[in-house]
Amino acid sequence: MKDRSASAQALRYTTIAFGLVIVGAVLFALGRTLGPSADLRAESAAARFDLMSLVPGEPVLFEHGETLVWILRLTDQQVLTARATDLADLQDALARNAMLPPDTPASFENRTIDLEGAIVMMTARCDRQGLVAVYSDFPDHTWFCMRGAEEYDALGRRLLTNGLGTDSFDIPPHIVSDDGHLILLSAADLLMHNGADHLLYGSND
């Protein structure tokens, strides 16, 4: 009787183990079918925008997670007007560029994101109300916050006009890849990026 009971128990354990193997294989196959690949997850985690697709004077509203930005390729007239603007004519003369030190001046070069100086990227929401800024094709008064009556130039710099808000639009953390894609960075990405630059180039002090 003991031998028969032991044999039955061994058979039961073998059957259970075999069943678990089958269930595991099915779940694994199902996960491979339904779950996103590592490459897909990595791609979706990065906010990439093709800057080559921009048309001069036609802004694009780009959203990634909680980040909402305007991206604009400047017209020739907007470039000329922005370059000619004196910082003394601005209510906010700071660059507000997350990739630069806080006290960096709001020059043309510090408010554009490409080497040619033709592309602007900035937060899209007005500071005080959270509403999205409105675009116009005026070369000198280009962006408006309707509720607070604030006016900004083509680079998103706060002009010396009436209105409640005083700061220019922020330029959030970002990089531009060699193939012409804008990549928005999280706070953690920015720390890693700055850390890599420090290792490669050393301190700027």
95-141 pLDDT tens trace: 999 999 999 999 999 999 998 889 999 999 987 667 899 999 877 78
| Assigned token pair, 3 | 């031998």
CB 164 within 8 A of CB 177: no
Strand partners, 67: 64
Largest CA distance in the chain: 101
pTM exceeding the 0.95 threshold for the entire prediction: no
CB 113 within 8 A of CB 121: yes
pLDDT higher than threshold 50 for residue 205: no
pLDDT higher than threshold 80 for residue 145: yes
pLDDT recorded at residue 141: 82
Degrees to nearest 5, angle at CA 192 with 186 and 193: 85
Q: Which amino acid is at 141?
A: H
pLDDT recorded at residue 116: 84
Per-residue pLDDT tens digits for 11-51: 444 544 444 444 344 334 333 333 333 332 233 445 789 99
| Assigned token pair, 170 | 């922020």
pLDDT higher than threshold 80 for residue 187: no
Strand partners, 201: none
